[in-house]
Each structure stands twice: as structure tokens, then as C-alpha cells.
Chains A and B, each alone.
Chain A
């Protein structure tokens, strides 16, 4: 089954170095998160709050977006609406053109990845400057983030050192992390001083006060939103929350779930551009609200839970599939369990429906999700819809799949038939291995085909004196 996802996953499995780097990082993040929530009862109460706050925001989404727009506008923030990536890019390019900007400082933003902003900027002769250390590494390597919180998690220090030597040959070579970080500081400082436009994402947009809340550790987010003349914030429409006080539990959940820290170094709450008596801060702040498929997800009462996500990344940190194939194995902007439910919905089942298979349904993602998104349940729903749909790109014929499962179901539905089949399978036993391998096809290239035991478990149990019921 040489489908797109399987091909990518296979390639990812072959990258031993990246796999080891990812595995090490994920193991560390799991321990850090656990230590950050020592009190289970408190954690569960917090998750209930996070769930309720996000559910409430989604139930009232249109009204809250209008309130957000009204408060932001009153604060002097200009609000823009974009139905899709092209509209969002158009709005951003329009603002930059008006300012004659040739370069754009970028704080970390997954939505900017979603809309393919960097490529679009370059097409228009504007240089995107990724300022987050992980994002800088990814930009230099001409790759995409492999994790939504730690974009360069698949690279180790030696790979970063080689990249820095290639791109900054005049800077002293260093292989230690302090040295590499210091180099990034030197390179970036000049750009912070000289660049007049900045862009960021938004972690939470507060409707009540018209406030954009951003969390970060490096200070690049503050630099990108404070030092330039114009700040553009781009976010999905689902990021709005009603009340400022809702930030308190959500920040705790987000930061502890993501990295195990009690709080990030900086929590940046932006409620407007520079006022006439102020001496710094951007003179213009723009907020771009992006739909890009979210209103479609919002329309389905079950799938809507997907939009509760606060992008902490805990689901991928705990996912056995993500651990093995990393973000690049998924081939989408959002990887891991959240990507496996979000991407098929954003891009459609025809394009990304296969991603719903990228899970063992072990349930770890739902156990750690700070806003209780029932990811396995949603994966099952998407799998079902994908199998029912007429398009299964490159996969088995849905007709054959259906026939196989119907036969399986009727066999297991009838005790007599079940006994008959297991007994006869036991009798011919090993003889079946060859034909079975042919039936299972590529499935058996990395696995042994099932080999029926001479006696079924039922038969063995009866011999030991257990009654059938």
C-alpha cells in the first residue's frame, strides 16, 4: 500500500538520528509534564475548567468574535477577517506593502505555517526572519517544524552547529548549546534593531478586554511585537476566550502541559498600539482572524471538540506513533494526534483522511489533553467516514474491505460458524501460511502472517473442564 502517508512514515522510520533525537526529547517532556502536575485531583479539576472555558467559547463563537473585534477596535487594533490562506496572505502583504517593508520579523506562529506565509512573502520580495531559535534552525535547514512547540526537536546540537557554520561562516564555530544560543542572539539582535515590521501568532484572544496573549521564553516574541513600527498578529478564529480571568487556568494548563514549566519566562498581553504619550511599541497593531475550514468543523457538534485545542503539544509528546515517525512523518503542518484529527478536517478526507490511521488508539493523547479533546473517539469517527466515502487514495477497494469485515462480523456473530471456522483453520494449520501471506500481501513484508494454532482456545479450555458459558 504505497500511499502518501505510508511512504512518508517509512522514510521517517529510516532516519535513525532524527528518531533518536525525537525519542530523547519526548521522554524528557513526559517526565517534565508529570512533575509539573504532582496533584492528580488538582490536575483533573483544572482540565475540567479548561474544557468548560473552551467549550463555552466555541458555543458562543460568533458573538465572542464580534465582541473581540469591537474591543480591539476600541483599543486601536485593526481587525481583519480571512476566509482562507490566500486572503490572510493578501491582508498581510497589503499591510507590509503600505509600510514599504522589505523584511518581516516573525515570532513563532503555526498559523503562519498553515497559510504558507514564508513562501508567499519571498514571492513578493519580502524576507521572512524567523526569530525563535527553533524556527531559525528550521528556516536555515529549509525544512518545516517537526513539532508545534519545539520545531527543531529532531535535530541535535551537531546538526545545528553544522547549519550555523554553513550560514554564518564568519562567526566562531561552536558545538555547545550555550555557544550556539549566543550566536543566534548576536545574529538576531541586529535584525531586531533594524526591522520595522513584526508578526506573531496568538495563544489566547480575550474578547472581554480586546487583549492578545502570547507566551514565550526567549524574548523574541516580545521583540517582534514591541520593537517594530507595525505588529501583525495572525490567529485562527477558535482562539478567542470570553473573560480575562479565564487566562489564569488556561495559562497553567498550556505551559505545564507543553514543557512542564510553572510559567513561561514571558507572558505578553497586548491590548493596543502605542498611545500618543508612549515612547515605544508599534504604532499599528493588526489582528488577522483566519477561518480556513474552522467554521466547517464548528458546524459539527462532535468534531467541534477539535477546536478546543490550545496547541500545547502534549498529545504528540505522549503518542507512540509520533515518537517513531516524528512530525515530518505526517507531512502536514500540524502533526501528532491533534494533526491526525485536525488535518483531515481542514484539508478534507480525500486529501488527508489517511492520517486518521496514524494512531494505535492507545488513548494516551486523550488522557493528557488539558482540554479533554476525545481524540481517539474523533479518530474513529473520521476513520468511519473515510471508509464510507468513495475516495480512498491508493488504498484497498472499499468494496473488498467491506466484504472482509462483513464476513468477519457474521463469523463472530454465530457461535456455530465460529467453532466451525476455528476448528477447520486448526486442522489445516500451517498449510494456510502461504495463501494467507498472499491474501495479506504487503502487510506480511515486515510481519509474520497469522498462523492458526492446531487447537483453538475454546477447545483447549473445554479440555481443561471449563463450560462454554
Chain B
């Protein structure tokens, strides 16, 4: 038996056509000011049942843990998993109300917490890398501190987003951050809670991923 790889490549090479440089696709970016980027992001993600909450009245302030605790209590969530070595941990734990849902540090590898993550976790909190106004998407690059399944398995996914992190398009973000130089093991765009239209083309939310997505937006006051 000859080598499958060699045979396939040889067959393809037999008929190679002219090759040139890859097509030059101009970077698609849209000239929206910060307020408009936030408004578009919000409109798009709310259209697919993502919840957007400005921190405080105008997005300014540092009481987001208090606000998040209240939201989770309203939803009947008994606990929240977070990455204790992640970027949000210090603020979260120092300002978390004593009467809020139980905070569970997510420190184990999946092999050691599979049952409790799937069976007994109500909500997960992560930071995000950016957001995209055009499509209402959150951009996550999961890390050892905030691993992949923290944003997928718990029925409620909570995200803290700084308004300055919102860019106009995915293309602009990839280009600006030089994603082609290297990606993490997993990079994600998340645009709303999990949904399906496989039965009669009718949208139903909360299929296999989180049924609810809460985005807390923090602004500097200028937006």
C-alpha cells in the first residue's frame, strides 16, 4: 500500500494551475465612534437574547460584583464559578456581597471537577478579550485561569466587558491584533446564549450551551 499522503499530493500536483499571491482582501473596518460601537453591540446581542447591563446608571463605577450578585439572585442562581487567578478575581471577591450566591473558585482540571461542573454549577464568570459591534459578539481567548468550559457548561454565562474593548468588525480586530502570528489553543466568538432552529425553523434558546448570557459593560464615562 502506497502512502495516502504522498498519493493525494501527487494527484493534486499533476494538475497544478497557475499560482499567484493570495487575493488582497481590504481590511473591513467601520468608522463608528465609541458610543455608536456600544449601541450597535448592544442592539445586535440583545436581538439574540443576550442581556446587556451597564454598570451603575451610566456604566461608570466599580460595584459590578454587587450588581451581578443581584442579577444572579433574581435568576435563582445559587452559585457562581470564577477563575481565582484570573483578571476579575480581586474585584469580585473583595466586593461580593455576603448574602450573594456562593462563589466557587474554579481551580481543578476538568477530570477533577466534571461532575460538579456539569451537575452543580449555576453560573460561570469570565473576562473577555474584545467585542465586535457589527455582529454583537464577545471574543474570548480562554486561559489556564479562565478555561474553555467555564463559558460553556454552566447554564448562565456572565462576562465583564470594558466598552473600550468594542471594535467595529472581526476583520479589524484580527488585523489590529495580528492574530495570524499565533492563536491560543481555542479562540471563540460568542454571540448570545445557545440556540437552535432545527425544529420548524423556530428559535429555541438554551440548547446545549448556556441558556442565558449576561454582559456587564463598564465605561469610562466618555462613551
Closest to A28 in B: B201
A-B residue pair count with CB separations less than 8 angstroms? 245
Query: Which of B60-68, B73-81, B202-210 forms contacts with chain A?
Result: B202-210
A269 B149 Cβ-Cβ under 8 A:
no
- Give chain A interface residues in 295-318, CB to chain B under 8 Å: 295-296, 298-301
Min Cβ gap B207→A in Å is 4
CA distance A193 to B152 in the complex (A): 12
Q: B173-201: which have CB < 8 Å to A?
A: 174-175, 179-180, 182-201
Contacts of B22 in A (CB 8 A): 53, 56, 242-243, 246
Stretch of A184-192, A385-393, A425-433, A442-450 with 4 or more beta carbons under 8 angstroms from chain B:
A184-192
Instruction: Give the contacts of B1-27 with A (CB-CB under 8 A).
Output: 3-5, 7-9, 11-20, 22-23, 25, 27
Report the stretch among A128-136, A331-339, A408-416 that lies at the interface: A128-136
Asked whether B171 is an interface residue with its Cβ less than 8 Å from the other chain, the reply is: yes
Measured CB to CB, the closest approach of chain A to B149, in angstroms, equals 5
Q: Does B39 contact A (CB under 8 A)?
A: no
Assembly CA distance A289 to B12 (angstroms):
14
Smallest Cβ-Cβ distance to B16: which chain A residue: A62
A265/B186 in contact, CB under 8 A? no
* Cβ distance A227 to chain B, nearest Cβ, rounded Å: 7
Q: How large is the interface on A (under 10, 10 to 19, 20 to 34, 35 or more residues)?
A: 35 or more
Interface residues of B in 114-142 (CB under 8 A from A): 114-115, 118-119, 134-137
**Cβ < 8 Å to B, chain A residues 149-198:** 150-153, 155-157, 160, 177-178, 180-182, 184-185, 188-189, 192-193
The distance in angstroms between the C-alpha atoms of A87 and B179, with both chains bound, is 34
CA distance A383 to B197 in the complex (A): 36
> Given that A185-B206, A189-B118, A219-B207 are contacting pairs, would A83 and B7 also be in contact in the complex, using a CB cutoff of 8 Å?
yes
> Is B219 interfacial (CB-CB < 8 Å)?
no
A residues lining the B interface (CB < 8 Å): 21, 24-25, 28-29, 49, 52-53, 56, 59-63, 65-66, 75, 81-83, 87, 131-134, 137, 150-153, 155-157, 160, 177-178, 180-182, 184-185, 188-189, 192-193, 208-209, 211, 217-220, 222-223, 226-227, 237, 242-249, 251, 259, 261-275, 277-281, 289, 291, 295-296, 298-301
Chain B residues closer than 8 Å to A219, beta-carbon distance: 152, 194, 207-210
Q: Sample 5 A-B pairs with CB under 8 A, ordered by A number.
A: A53-B25, A81-B8, A185-B208, A220-B207, A245-B171
Q: Provided the pairs A56-B23, A299-B14 are in contact, do residues A279 and B110 lie with their beta carbons within 8 angstroms?
A: yes
The answer to whether A298 touches B204, judged by C-beta atoms less than 8 angstroms apart, is: no
Contact of B185 with A259 in the complex, beta carbons under 8 Å: no
B118 engages A192 (CB within 8 Å): yes
Q: Is the CB of B188 within 8 A of A267?
A: yes
In the complex, the answer to whether A295 meets B109 with C-beta atoms within 8 Å is no
Smallest CB gap from B146: residue in A: A279
Contact A157 B25, beta carbon cutoff 8 Å:
no
How many angstroms from the CA of A62 to the CA of B4 in the assembled complex? 13
Residue in A218, A226, A269, A278 whose CB lies within 8 Å of B207:
A218
B residues in contact with A249, CB < 8 Å: 25, 28, 171
Once the chains bind, are A227 and B182 in contact (CB under 8 Å)?
A: no
* Pair A226/B4 contact, Cβ less than 8 Å: no
Contact A278 B209 (CB under 8 A): no
Residues of A near B7 (CB, < 8 A) are 83
The answer to whether A263 and B109 touch across the interface, beta carbons within 8 angstroms, is: no
A132 lies within 8 A of B198 (CB): yes
**B55 interface residue per 8 A CB criterion:** no
Partner of A279, one of B108, B136, B169: B108
Of B119, B193, B202, which contacts A265 at CB under 8 A?
B193
Please, which residues of chain A bring their CB within 8 A of the CB of B200? 21, 24-25, 156-157, 177
